Each structure stands twice: as C-alpha cells, then as structure tokens.
Structure 1
Amino acid sequence: MLQQQPYDSPLPNLLKGSPPVRFLSSLYSLAMKIRNGRFTSGRAAVLSLKSPVISIGGIRAGGTGKTPCAMMVGEMLQETGNTVAILSRGYRRKNRSDFIAAPGEKINWHDCGDEPAMLHNVLSNCWLGISAHRLRVAQQIEQVAGNVVFILDDGFQHRQLKRDLDIVCVNESLFNDRMLPDGFLREQVSSLGRAHVICLIGKKENRELLLHLEDSIKSTYKQASTFIAYPQPCGWINAGTGEIAERPPCSDPVAVCGIARPERFFESLESLGVIPCKKIAFSDHYSFTKNDFVNIHKLYSKELVITEKDAIRINEFSSEISSKIWYLKVRLKFHSGDSTKRFKEKLQNILPKL
C-alpha cells in the first residue's frame, strides 16, 4: 500500500501516538467494527424511502470535499430536470428541532447549519430536510414534493437509511491516517468496501500522487468506481452586493476563514496571485460576530476575503460591513472529460425508479 508523509492528528504532539491515545483509538475502532457488523449482519434495521437516495460522505473527520461534492452532484441532477432534496443532521446549528425548507425559501443558517444552508442557496430547485432522524423529514418532503432525488449529506456513517448510491470522498492522506482520537479516521479504511463511488479529491499540483493513489484504490476496492477531482476557483463574489469579479479589488487583503483546513484556502489564494497581508483562521463552523470583521478592518484597513461557506455565516451583517468582504467561489472539476461522463452515468443509473 502506498505510504504518505507522517500522519496528521487533532492532538498536540505530546499526546499524538502515545500509548493511552493509541489505546483509545483501538477502543473506538472496535466500537465501529461492532456497529458496522450489526448493519452488515442485518441485526440493525435499515429503512428505505420511495425516492432514490445518494449518500455523499467520508471516513475522515473534516475537510475532504464532501460539501463541494454534494454541490456538484446536486447541480448535475438539476441539469437533467430532477428536483433535489438535501438531508443533513445540521452540524453546529442552534435550532435542535426538525427543519424543512422549500426551494427558494429564505433561511437562516442557525436553523440548519452553514453547509446545508450553502447547498440550499446554490442549488436553485432544492428542498432541505434537517434532523437527527433523516428518514422522518425525508418522508415529509416526499409527501409534499413528490418525485425527488435525496442527497444524504455526510451520510456514509448514517447506515440507518438505505441508499441507492454511496459516494465516499477521500484525500491524499487516505492510506496514512489513524483512527480517532489519534488521527482523523471515523472508521477503518477497509469500510471503503461498502462504497459504490470513491472520489479522490486533492490539489491539482499533486496530480502524480493522486494518480498513484487512484491505482492503489482501484486494486484494493474493485467494487467501486474511482474518480479524481480538483477544487477549481471560479471567481470572486462580493458578500454584500453580489458583484462578480475575476480578482478581488485588493491584491493583499486580509484572509479570514473558519473551516476545517484553513491552509487549503490560504494556498489557493496564493496560487491565484492573491498574497494576504494577514491570515486569520478561526475554528471550523465558527459563528462570526459583526465586531470580528469591524475590528479586523480597522486594524488592517484592507478588504477581507473569505470562503463561500464562511459567507453563509455573515449573511445577517449589514451591507456596510459585508460589502467590504469578498468570497472565493470554488467548484470541483474532474481531471478528465471522460471522468465527468462516467460520473454522470453513475448518477443516471439510479434514476429509472422516478
């Protein structure tokens, strides 16, 4: 198996790889094996919907491109005339009750989470169902919307709901990671044996590494179709006015983000020739306040640039503040036209039941 650089860990170096932490990781690994075994053996119930379900998930916590992949899938389905419904638990939302939003309905990210809100905002004809019990809100959507295609966001571990297509997003660290809490793996890499599609998402500059990884994945998980995709910057949008530009108005802005892998955002800026005068990283899903941006702007007297996901969390700010902020629009792009065609065929193959 292809080996990568030293593995990442959410823990400080003092604890990373220590015997107590490895013991905790082995306990967690055992718990996941038992849980998965219950579903595989049929001892745990798996429930079905009338409509097709596409799960998009991962085996690594945070930052593997699941949300951009869900956005790409939603756009492809809508291009062929399908009505899409996003199902999510709504991570870090403030409202704990079930939440359903119709296409075009104005929503607040506090009710559903920032990533589902972004998907609902980008996908024009999209329902949104948020609940710890995804089946319950999905059945309610089916009653009012009729024929839909459900996208189960971050759904690989949500095995209670039967899916017609299981898409798993992985990155360059796939074969060199550890189980939580020592590493970032939610479950063993061997769980990819359940996947129908594996999307290997990484930087275009790492093309050779990604191709080597693709070969390793194909030889190990023969049941799955494997694709390589790159995050592709698609322009800048003013968070206050909606103005679109090829470049931000300032070549040395303050770069601010609250995402799982801030270094990816900062690297993408520099690859576009945007050299931030200051880089500020908040925790993933951070709830920005107006003062965060007012103080940063006062301190540096520069325009601010953020990610599209961060932009969802500032949409209640006044236009006076948000008009000084630009966000980078990024979409996934397959490394070949043939890959795009094959991926679309995988989607179409599950749709005849409509």
Structure 2
Amino acid sequence: MTDQRVGSKSPAQATSPDGGAGSPPNDLIPGENEDVRDDGDSSLGTDAESSTASMSASILEYRQIQGRTFHSDRFTVDYAFPNDQKQLESVDITHHYLTLLFGNRLFLAPIADDVQQVLDAGTGSGIWAIDFADQYPGAEVIGTDLSPCQPKWVPPNVRFEIDDVTESWTWDDGKFDFIHLRYLFGAIKDWTALYKEAFRCCAPGGWVESAEANIQFRSDDGTADLAPVLDLCTRLYDEGGQAIGRPFFMDHLQPKGFKEAGFTDIKTMDYKVPIGGWAKDPNLAEVGRFVRLTLENDIEGYTLALWNHVLGWPKDEYQIFLMDIRKALRNREIHSYFTVRVVYGRKPE
C-alpha cells in the first residue's frame, strides 16, 4: 500500500505495513490565508421514528438531560453523546469530512466488488450504510444502533435494526463479507471482545474495518498552547472515559485487538485531521472546515453529559468552557488537529 503523506495533494495517510501503530505524518502545513467560509451538507436530516426492527415502547423512552435526549436506559446509561437531531446533524457532517479525508471513499479495506452481506455496527444516523447501499446495489446492508434514529426513506437494500454492539452479537458465524465500525470511541468497554465478535461474524476471506479518532487536540507548531481550554477538553474525555469505563482514547487498542481476534493482512493508517481551514493543502483545508462545522454545530452535545453528570464539574463554569472552545475553534492563529486511525484486517479463508 502506498504511503501518502499529509500535506500532499493525495489523501493524508501513513501506513504501517506490519499492522502496527503507524506514526502520524509531520507535514500538516498551515496555509498563508485561511478560507473562513463555512460549508453545510444539504443532506442533513433524519427521522427518529422509523426502524425496521421490532421495538418496544421502552426503546423510545429516551433519557432527558437539560433539553437533550440520550439513548434509552434499556441499553446503557453510560454512553455520553445524545441521539437527537442536533447531534445527528454533526454525525452526518462527520461522515462528509471523513469521506473527503479518505479520498472520496467510504472505506479503505480491499473488499470484493461483488460484496453481498455488509454490517455497519453502530450506524448512528445511518448515512454510511445508505451511501454504501447506493454504491453497491447488489449488497444487503444492515445498520445497527442503540436508537431508531435513522431516516424513513432508504435504498431497498438497506435496513436498520436495534442492537447493542457491546453485547454478544446475534448473527450467525461467518454471515458478513464486510463489517464496518466507525467512531465508537466512548461507547466500548472491551475493544478486543468487540473485534472477536466481528471476527466470528465475518465470513472467511471477508474484511473488518475500524476507524476511530483520538480527540486530543494538538499542534506541530505549538499554537494549540494559545488555548488552554483544548487541554481541558482532553482532560474531560480522559477522566470522563475512565469514569464510565469506556475510553475515548483507544486508537492504540485497534491493532492489538485485531491481532488478538485472529485477523490477518492487518493494515493501519493514521491521518492528521485539521480543525479549521488553515491547512495549505486545499483538500485538507476543506476537511478542516467541515470538522470545525461539526464541532461548532454541537459542542454542547459532545461535552454536556461528561461535564455535568459524569464528572460533576462546576456547572457555573460550563458555559465559560463552551465559549472558550468556540473561540479556540475560530482562532486562525491556532493550527490544531486531532488524529484518526483506520485499521482493517481479513479473516483467514
């Protein structure tokens, strides 16, 4: 696999051929002038009332926290992000910037063109499953999530079901040709157990892909130090993840979990993801503008439960925290980024 460095005209990735942890590339270069225009996604929008799965009324008894809705207690009280419209909009924008980051690709694993059975575990708004089903009309795509928050109108070859990926999977051994896992950080207690379930349900010769962000804000030129609130945000996720037993910083667990599960041909790609349109490379600048839009759209949803209800930090300081985060996101002098790690592997024939 070709190693394509961040800052070039190609998608930003660094590959570790042995499946180990590839070091993030170091040439994410700031441009002279940031294009500060914000971009939206006209496809935003979901319908929280639809699902092909059989539902009991308890599934729709969402928890209410300060006007935001979270997944039903039927499954977990520990998942820290909401499932309402505001959060789902950010999920859809995230899907867009990741697609751009990956070179207008929905995935990186070398799956077969005639892939038949596909699982998107933890599908969220369902946007990845829908796009994949459109791109592969011959495949049957299943998306699972804790809440029935996916849209009503979907391609005929995709369906959504209620399920918790942290429990034992109900699928038969070897059912799926491709299993897609993305942005489950903060939701999983045992990553190795998750990958072992994916291995069991993957067909021989099939592929599993896991894409996770390390949401520690950093910079190569030290400009992240201009906003101490970024370090506070890292502390929020570190201590919050420990408190709920579901780590937010787990990219180091991906290659290890894949190996322990039994996968072969494991590949690891690391990406630097700019926050804001400061990158010199135009594609990365575009990615960065959508990243900033994602965070600005619902920074409250990403932090509310952890700050106020998990860690119990001073509530009178929370609004100041939100204000400082927004200032940092809009500060053109701060060249901050986080990293995304993609790991995929094949189940032996």
Given the two structures, how large is their TM-score scaled by the length of structure 2? Answer: 0.29
Point out the structure with max Rg over C-alpha. Answer: 1
Given the two structures, how large is their TM-score scaled by the length of structure 1? Answer: 0.29
